[in-house]
Chains A and B, each alone.
Chain A
Amino acid sequence: MSEVLMIDSVLLLLVAATAIAVVEVRSLYAAAMLSGIYSLLMALVWVNMHSMDVAFTEAAVGGGISTILLIGTLVHTEREEKKRKTRVNWGALLVTAMTGAALIYGTLDMPRFGDPNAPIHNLRVPEMVNQTVGMTAGAKGKQPPPVGWTPRQNLELPLGHKQAYAMQRAHATNEARLKEAGEGHGGHGGQKADGHGAEHEAGHDDAHAHPAGDFNGHVPNTVTSLLAAYRGYDTMFETAVIFTAGASLILLLRRRRRPGENLPKQQSANLTDQVILRVMCKLFIPFILIFGLYVISHGEIGPGGGFQGGVILATAFILYGLIFGRPELHRVLPERLTDILAVLGVLLYSGVGVFTMLRGGKFLDYAFLNPASPGDGEPLGMTLVEWGVGITVCTVMITIFNQLAEEESK
């Protein structure tokens, strides 16, 4: 019974109770607020299960942006659900009960919670982790796996012949280089990796000796390394998904602008009459902006990254829009600027990919950004990509807030 499980079991009961409350409560803004609470509790569950980045995203995106989206919709629709004669729909309840029972029957032979030998931990992950999802701790390039790294997961993987040949070839090139490079890395040559045997080398000196199964990203935060480097392709299209959401919001909700009319000049509801709120928000907004930039930029070292930082930046602008009114927000961030920046983010991301291709590597192979010492190219590539994602997410969230808050011309 690890501590994680103890806290987890209590927290998840709260989460389940909130979920039922969200579905059953009649007034819609209560449902919006409860879904905000639900996301906050869910983020607590993620923190308890050691997944910091997911907790970050769930809190910022689920707790913040979704609640503001729902409330923005309620402005245009009515606030109460229609009174129904029967409160419970028995047919739907029966169907859900049956599917639930079948699914629960399915989980009976799932691996135990936290079981280190579960199949998910033994396929591909040891190979990825063994080649040191390392860090740029002073020394350039890949780090040797730490001493005694694999006490629990060092299962002998049945290597396919192609993989064995690739590993063997990479090993041979490493040996050759080690002989003529003398002691290997100056910085911490002392740590010989006896635990795993294979001495890893910077790996990219000759353009094509990319060792098999190299996960391309070697930064302390393995989640960002996987997100931006190993799955860089998916994250690029995910940024495109966010941009498409912003574009569809513009198409659906933005009223046609008569030529020359920049923004409909109608009296906006601002909260500037409340002195304390206005002064406090003027005090906070710079700090929120700095914090958002910090979260984007240190995505490699700690939890954070493009999505979370972009959303935090967006909430700073949204707070400014809430307090000082939307025309004021429009004066600070005109719609044309946000549209251009949204496109720019996606372009920056794919631009980095094209650039690495021009440098001779594969698409989004960050090592080729700095062929001299590939260990530095990877964090550089990932930072650029995170900034691209951050810009797009920030501007799209602001556009979404702008469109939802736009009053329909009577």
Chain B
Amino acid sequence: MFLAATFALLVGLLMILVRAVKGPTVYDRILAVNAMGTKTVILVTLLGYVSGRTEFLDMAIVYTLISFITTIAILKFIQKGRLD
């Protein structure tokens, strides 16, 4: 059950990757990074259930934070041209 869900989400990941590479404007790419982050969080949790070791949930929290902060950093760079 979990394995089927994992493979389905991997197909979703592939679609996002195509948009990330093809994305004409920079905002499409930022959108792809953000969507990829959310999907990776779900995938990590599912991999925990596939392998039976469900107690490694801190990974999912780290992914959420990292993709959030990376998106904010990229947006500030695009919008203000500076990071400070």
Contact = CB atoms under 8 A, between A and B. Distances in A.
Interface of A: 3-4, 6-7, 10-11, 14, 17-18, 21, 25, 27, 29-30, 32-34, 36-37, 40-41, 43-44, 47-48, 50, 52, 55-56, 59-60, 63-64, 67-68, 71-72, 74-75, 268-269, 271, 277, 281, 284, 288, 291, 294-295, 302-304, 308, 312, 315, 318-319, 321-323, 325-326, 401, 404-407
B47 A48 contact: yes
9 contacts: A3-B3, A3-B50, A3-B51, A18-B17, A36-B33, A44-B44, A59-B63, A271-B79, A405-B82
A322 B58 contact: no
Nearest to B30: A33
Interface string B45-61: 00110110101101101
A4 B77 CA distance: 38
B45 to A, nearest CB: 10
B84 A63 contact: no
Contacts of A64: 66, 69-70
B17 A14 contact: yes
Interface string B28-43: 0110110011001001
A6 B7 CA distance: 9
Contacts of A37: 17, 20, 32-33, 36
Given A64-B66, A71-B83, A269-B82, 10 more contacts: A14-B10, A33-B30, A37-B36, A40-B63, A44-B47, A47-B56, A63-B70, A75-B77, A268-B84, A304-B58
Contacts of B83: 68, 71-72, 75, 269, 322, 401, 404-405
B15 to A, nearest CB: 11
Given A21-B21, A36-B70, A71-B83, A14 B44 contact: no
A106 to B, nearest CB: 30
B17 A407 contact: no
Contact of B56 (A52, A291, A323): A52
Contacts of A294: 58
Contact of B67 (A40, A47, A268): A40
A59 to B, nearest CB: 5
Given A50-B51, A302-B56, A308 B32 contact: no
Contact of B21 (A34, A40, A48, A303): A34
